Amino acid sequence: MEQLAQQVLNWLALGAVYSLVAIGFSLLFGVLNVIHFSHGDVALVAPFVAMATVLLVPASGLAFALLLAVVLVGALGIALERVPIRRFRTTPPMMALVATVALGIVIRELIRLVYPNGSNPHAFPRLIEGDAMTIAGASVSWLVVALLATSALLVAALSVFLRATKTGMRIRAVSQDLEMARLLGIDPNRVYRTTFFVASATGAAGGIFFASYIGLMRFDLGIMIGLLAFSAAVIGGLGSMAGAIAGSMLLAALETLAQAVLPDGAKYRLVVAFVLVLVVLVFRPAGLFGRPSIEKV
């Protein structure tokens, strides 16, 4: 029973991290119709920014460093949208995909070269120490509680933001009909900047919790977390926030189950996860919550 409870906790924590990054993929695709493949690398910049702040300004404290990292990564998202990504809005999707893959490589290499000993893994502190409670014999750490609570609050806040604020309504209008939104006086560039900030900042929160959960940060972690979160968004349906969350939880459940059931399951968890992606793409290309697009010709 204790082992089962521990696996459930692992599943929830992993699913929450994937959700925070996958929401960004779905939000950006839903608004810009662009797959920002370097989104995972952008998210994993946050732990490095936080630790650099602590090292350079020790008096700032970890809490301030984390908040600053989230804001700066959000600003990085705006800069990336404005400089390289904006050029690919009207180009074939493959060009934007290749460009963002290259952008991810640039980000990883800059971290490796600029951060001290960037090629090596670096320890990342636990954001909250100690155990909050025990469930069925399994200890629930305050970090997991904070991760789940933060994920739930961010998802709720994003839902309210998109549905109940003027900015959120503008984002939804641009995602549904760009030309009509322009006729209504909505500035698409402003919407794109806001969307990139929100998506990147949310991903940064996921990147910080992921680094704290595994206890380290590494320059190349972004590509794996990004690929898994993107796969989760594809499973749920790109463009759907609910789909991104559902896909993340399903992907994390399969990974956790593979590690718990299969011999040497840790080696096969990614195999199982990406088999699921293939199955979904074959039998439901639009994803679990996605809708097939119909184009009149």
Strand pairing category for 131-135 and 122-123: unpaired
In the chain, what percentage of residues exceed pLDDT 70? Answer: 97
Q: Alpha-carbon distance 52 to 65, whole Å?
A: 8
Which percentage of the chain shows pLDDT scores above 90? 47
pLDDT at 232 over 70: yes
> What pLDDT was estimated at residue 297?
42
Reported as a pLDDT band with limits 50, 70 and 90, residue 111 is: very high
Give me the pLDDT at residue 79, please: 93
Half-sphere exposure of 80 (CA within 13 A, CB side): 28
- Global pTM reads 0.90
Band (pLDDT 50/70/90 cuts) for residue 49 is very high
**Contact between residue 191 and residue 174 where contact means Cβ atoms under 8 Å apart:** yes
Considering the domain boundaries, does residue 261 fall inside one?
no
Do the domain assignments include residue 26?
yes
5: in domain? no
Within-domain flag for 207: yes
> What is the domain extent for residue 69?
13-220
pLDDT at 95: 85
Q: What is the pLDDT of residues 83-100, one digit of tens each?
A: 888 888 777 778 888 889
Whether residue 293 has pLDDT greater than 70: no
Question: Does a structural domain hold residue 114?
Answer: yes
Count how many domains the chain has.
1
Q: Tell me the per-residue pLDDT of 237-280, one tens digit each, with 9 for 90 and over.
A: 888 888 999 999 999 998 888 888 888 777 888 888 888 888 88
Residue 289 lies in a domain: no
242 inside domain: no
Q: Does residue 159 lie within any of the structural domains?
A: yes
pLDDT at 175: 87
The pLDDT confidence band at residue 124, using thresholds 50, 70 and 90, is: very high
Is the predicted pLDDT of residue 105 greater than 60, yes or no?
yes
Average pLDDT over residues 183-189: 88
